[in-house]
Amino acid sequence: MTERDGIFAGADPFEIAARWLDDAKDSEPNDPNAIALATVDSDGLPNVRMVLLKEIEAGAFVFYTNYESAKAAELDSAGKAAFVIHWKSLRRQIRVRGTITREDGPQADEYFASRSLKSRLGAWASKQSQPLSSRAALMAEVAKVTAKQGPNPSRPPFWGGYRLEPLEIEFWADGAFRLHDRFQWRRDQVGSAWQVQRLNP
């Protein structure tokens, strides 16, 4: 892989992904960590939405959500998901597919505590993905939980993280004349060795 140098260099795909995200923090105007997360429902119908990637670990990507949301139901049912993160300013993207497990322990508690007070109260107030009669009803619920939870609300039992452990990671960079550079990291199961290959644009 002598030609896999420059922005593609490295023996660890998670380190490459973290480096690309750091690059994007200097150039993207908003939410450089926004990913389009894809799931499937019980009928196999795809679903996709934007969420914020919160951590790139040594072997996984971590994000957080309401466990009673539609996305959580689909994640728990399938146990698999995919996402793409695209940076227009860098003309790069990363595609990921893999297995899903919950992050529902101290790490989730720590992240929740790091959020702003209004975000923590909003997590308590929102019945994510459920029908809502009006904006006023939502704000009334926020006022209600604010009075009940006080200035330091703990993490709700219905809110936490998910960890995506990839079986495939693809790094893509724009090339002249649409001759893009694509490198796919692939393995048969979590923990096995990665195979890296260049793909046609």
Q: Which residues are catalytic?
A: 178
Using an 8 Å Cβ cutoff, are 94 and 170 in contact? yes
Please report how many Cα atoms fall inside a 13 Å half-sphere around the Cα of residue 165, on the Cβ side: 15
Nearest to 35 by CA among 45, 48, 47: 48
Amino acid at 61: F
Task: Yes or no: say if 14 and 59 are a contact pair by the CB < 8 Å rule.
Answer: yes
Q: What's the rounded Cα separation, in Å, for the pair 163 and 150?
A: 30
Instruction: Give the whole-angstrom CA distance, residue 164 versus residue 180.
Output: 26
Q: Both tokens of residue 151?
A: 């200035």
C-alpha 163/C-alpha 93 separation (Å) is 20
Contact 22, 32 (CB under 8 A): no
